[in-house]
Amino acid sequence: MPVLAFVEPSVASDADGDGVTDSGITATPSAALTATQVAVAGFAMRPVVVSAKRMDGVDTVALSGTITSSLYSALDKVGEMEFPKSQRRSLAWHLADIFEYRVDMSRDLGKGDKFYVLVERAQDADGKVIINKILGAKLALHNESYEAVHFKSKGNSAEWFDGAGKSLTASFLRAPLDFRRITSVFGLREHPIFGTWRNHTGTDYAAPMGTPVRAIGDGIVVAMGRMGGYGNAVDVRHANGYVSRYGHLSRFAKGLHQGSHVSMGSTIAYVGMTGWATGPHLHFEIRVNGVARDPRVALRDKAGAPLTGSEAALFQEIREHTMAALQEDSTSTKSPSQVAVRPATAGNSTGNDGPGA
């Protein structure tokens, strides 16, 4: 029987002797290690072993695959036996949300890129299989890899961190559109329907008329209205000399005006085809100190706030186990693989509010 060993804080130990830790994981102390209390990151720790056996409750599965046409189609294939179609689609959306500060799912994915995701799976009150929580993920794109590990910190409001323990939350979103509002699939750089194409001063996103356009970061509206070939457009000034422009809009958000303060992710306008446009799409560009910059480079912010002190060491312990579980599936002849099982919390089959919670 395969097992996965974790190091758990002693505060989460099985205090009442029922074989279930405070976190709900069915665990037994490792016989070879129970005599030693391990001090890690300032916490009193003790090893536990989680058995990967099937039982009623919440289990953890590792999925991995290679992108041939889209992230959704790849997840749809490898997860067919593990999740219903709606949950496979939801998993693709959640991955886009997790990496939205680092990866633009409409432009940065390429044929042959790989993904890995560790997912808790549960059953709802009607017996339907659902995603309980995503524990970790990895994208291997071209010559660069991105890791995401779920970790709740007392000193950092973020819940997703990269391999170095830095928050995945950055100053800017990588894209001005929420892709679940565009299509149910995530395409490659030139998706035949909902794709993108590059021009000299920015990026055009094909999207249905009226799709909400979101501000990529906190800022102030410095210009809005008719702007020549851009049609209806909005300019938002951000910190450090950054200005984002959104063009070919059908209309502006209610109450928006020059001088308005906008927050990252807030709706500022809606996709249209005003100005020099042959179909509905959003023209998006970034200027830094007045000079046009490639958004893929300008918005690649890796300076998220890092974990510090005892939390940094504890995070690395969790990261090592999470990445090992992901890689275990990638080298297995069976895909996906079941990693661990724990019983569902009484009265709540998922034990939390949803993926990543």
**Domain-by-domain residue ranges, the chain?**
3-51, 58-170+317-342, 179-298
* Mean pLDDT score, 22-43: 40
Confidence of residue 53 (pLDDT cuts 50, 70, 90): very low
Report the range of poorest mean pLDDT among 88-97, 153-162, 198-207, 235-244.
198-207
User: What pLDDT sits at residue 297?
Assistant: 80
Looking at mean pLDDT, say which of 33-42, 173-182, 249-258, 342-351 comes out highest. 249-258
For residue range 121-161, list pLDDT tens digits in order: 998 888 899 999 999 999 999 878 999 999 999 888 889 99
At residue 196, what are phi and psi to the nearest 5 degrees?
A: -135, 155
User: What pLDDT sits at residue 188?
Assistant: 37
- The amino acid occupying position 273 is M
Q: Is the dihedral of CA 286, 289, 291, 297 positive or negative?
A: negative
User: What pLDDT sits at residue 143?
Assistant: 79
- Predicted TM-score of the model (pTM): 0.67
Decide if 304 contacts 166 (C-beta within 8 A): yes
Task: Please work out, in degrees rounded to the nearest 5, the angle formed at the alpha carbon of residue 341 by the alpha carbons of 139 and 4.
Answer: 65
Task: In whole angstroms, give the CA distance from residue 136 to residue 235.
Answer: 36
Q: Is the dihedral of CA 175, 181, 186, 187 positive or negative?
A: negative
- SS3 state of residue 6: strand
Report the range of poorest mean pLDDT among 109-118, 171-180, 259-268.
171-180
- The amino acid occupying position 301 is D
User: What pLDDT sits at residue 107?
Assistant: 77
Determine the topology of domain 179-298 in CATH. Answer: Glucose Permease (Domain IIA) (2.70.70)
Strands (E) across the chain are located at 3-9, 28-29, 38-40, 43-51, 58-66, 114-123, 129-141, 144-150, 160-161, 196-198, 203-206, 212-214, 219-226, 232-237, 242-252, 261-262, 267-271, 281-288, 291-293, 337-342
Looking at mean pLDDT, say which of 51-55, 72-76, 196-200 comes out highest. 72-76
* Mean pLDDT score, 195-224: 83
Determine the topology of domain 58-170+317-342 in CATH. Answer: Nuclear Transport Factor 2; Chain: A, (3.10.450)
